[in-house]
Amino acid sequence: MSDRLTLGPDAARQLATTTKTTPQMRGITPRYLLRALSWVDVESGVYRVNRRLSFQIGDDRIATYSENGTHAVVPEDLRELPYLRDADAELLVALAQRFTAVSFEAGDTLASEGDVANRLWVLVRGRAEKRLTGRYGEDALVEVIGDGQFFDLDSWTRAEPLPYRVQALTSGVALCVERTDLTTLTERDDALRAAVETYGASGDMPGAEVPIELSGGHVGEPELPGTYAEYEGAPREYHMSLAQTVLRLHSRVADLYNQPMDQTREQAHLTIQALRERQENLMLNHPEFGLFHNVAPGQRVQTRTGAPTPDDLDELLTKVWKQPGYFLAHPKAIAAFGRECTRRGVPPVTDSRFGSPLLTWRGVPLLPSDKVRFSGGAGLGTTEILLMRIGEAEQGVVGLRPASVPDEVEPGLSMRNMGTDQKAITSYLMTAYFSTAVLVEDAVAVLQNVEVSKYHDYS
């Protein structure tokens, strides 16, 4: 016999009913991107973005690779140079083989203002800044450049003096090719020589739209110009992408263990959450339609010191100055930006959006997302900060989804019963259809090479 005077908790618990939560899931995030985007219902499954005709441009990067400690240029990527876009592959290989590696340290001058540009530089690794002497003799920062960017194509092609000097901000490696190597190749190839001469005479017009002839400020009765707006002959079309899985549930579980919670409903809920998380990831990082892969060359900004400073975000705002909607960044990048603001004594304002307090800069909210990737390892490498304008009417960024799908349980997401097999397992096809579109190039910009590991001693 026990010395206990009352009924014990373990025995009493056999008569009690537990209070249960619905199944919890650590992977669920606020998914601010999906909530912030303006969604367009696509009737036909294809969304065509008609634009005014623009001159062709590349991505402002020349890809490089390393093999056995040796750096080299990817020959096909030399088509980033306007007069090499239609060049023969053999010629590209010949030019790529003439690049030589140059190492540099922080503070080194890579090129001097006013010197003839005898070399074309391609940064393999590292950051540098372009500076020039301003109108009144002041030292002016033109641009910060990073991995894959090159300088100065115009001066190198025409053998002219550099309009700025280039100074390394970090240590790194560059690949260089001499002006004489280009001359040698033009002597071998008449088409290349003609293309180089045409470029040297007129230059390229990166990002420019075909002009509409107008007259303004005139007096009297001059003859007015005639004009029309030219459209792109092959506008870009966005096809629906998808995330899919097959949810399986045994009929015995659905029949016997369906109270107090519906097993099918709870299984579907968690699966839908996972599909939506994958959707947001693809909308940011997919190589074809992901937002980070659809930033125009002129819309990319490099951090000056690595850590994201107020100056860097201000520079980003100059790229998307027409009704900027949201910054989007990894939580670590937002924390790093907060530290830089604290160090300068300009703490960002907090505003309530989507039911949560969010940091803002110049009134533009910073949306956190763990889908923003790191280069070189999460938390140790570098990341990016996106700035976008939202909405179809604003010529911004829009989310795409079908107007309707069979067995739809959420907008653009269906749950189709595939039947029960001989093992009494019922299968459901879960599908989320989606895509994103950037309507105009200046609707999105990105701050690159953002370092998140810089801390300060405030004591």
Which domain CATH number covers 89?
Answer: 2.60.120.10
Picking from 180, 202, 224, the residue at the C-terminal end of a domain is 202
The 10s digit of each residue's pLDDT in 390-420 is 999 999 999 999 999 999 999 999 999 999 9
- Residues 49/202, Cβ–Cβ less than 8 Å: no
Residues 272 and 385 in one domain: yes
Helix (H) or strand (E) holding 114: none
**Domain hosting residue 336, numbered range:** 32-49+239-400+437-451
Tokens, residue 455: 């801390």
CA 395/CA 336 separation, integer angstroms: 31
Q: What does the pLDDT read at residue 195? A: 86
Task: Using the structure block, give the residue that is written with the tokens 């280039």.
Answer: 166
> Is residue 211 a part of any domain in this protein?
no
> Is residue 97 a part of any domain in this protein?
yes
When pLDDT is averaged across residues 2-28 and rounded to a whole number, the result is 88
Least Cα distance to 319 among 375, 389, 268, 272 occurs for 389
Task: Using the structure block, give the residue that is written with the tokens 């240029």.
Answer: 73
Residues 323 and 197 in one domain: no
Q: What does the pLDDT read at residue 205? A: 46
> How confident is residue 2, by pLDDT bands cut at 50, 70 and 90?
low
> How confident is residue 324, by pLDDT bands cut at 50, 70 and 90?
very high
> Is residue 287 a part of any domain in this protein?
yes
- Residues 400/394, Cβ–Cβ less than 8 Å: no
Q: What does the pLDDT read at residue 190? A: 87
What DSSP character marks residue 80? G
> Is residue 213 a part of any domain in this protein?
no
Q: What does the pLDDT read at residue 55? A: 62
> How confident is residue 355, by pLDDT bands cut at 50, 70 and 90?
very high
> Is residue 331 a part of any domain in this protein?
yes
Residues 72 and 38 in one domain: no
Residues 370 and 247 in one domain: yes
Task: Using the structure block, give the residue that is written with the tokens 């002219």.
Answer: 160
Number of domains forming the structure of the chain: 2
* Cis preceding-peptide flag for 163 (omega within 30 of 0): no
Q: How far is CA 419 from CA 275, 405, 445, in A?
A: 21, 19, 47
The 10s digit of each residue's pLDDT in 143-152 is 899 888 999 8
Residues 278 and 329 in one domain: yes
Residues 174 and 263 in one domain: no
Residues 122 and 45 in one domain: no
Q: pLDDT > 70: what percent of the chain? A: 96
Residues 155 and 264 in one domain: no
Q: What's the pTM value of the predicted model, to 2 decimals?
A: 0.85
C-alpha angle with apex 293: 305 to 232, nearest 5 degrees?
125
> Is residue 376 a part of any domain in this protein?
yes
> Is residue 408 a part of any domain in this protein?
no
> How confident is residue 191, by pLDDT bands cut at 50, 70 and 90?
confident
Residues 120 and 160 in one domain: yes
Residues 170 and 259 in one domain: no
State the maximum Cα–Cα separation within the chain, in Å, rounded to a whole number.
118
> Is residue 147 a part of any domain in this protein?
yes
Residues 193 and 86 in one domain: yes
Residues 135 and 190 in one domain: yes
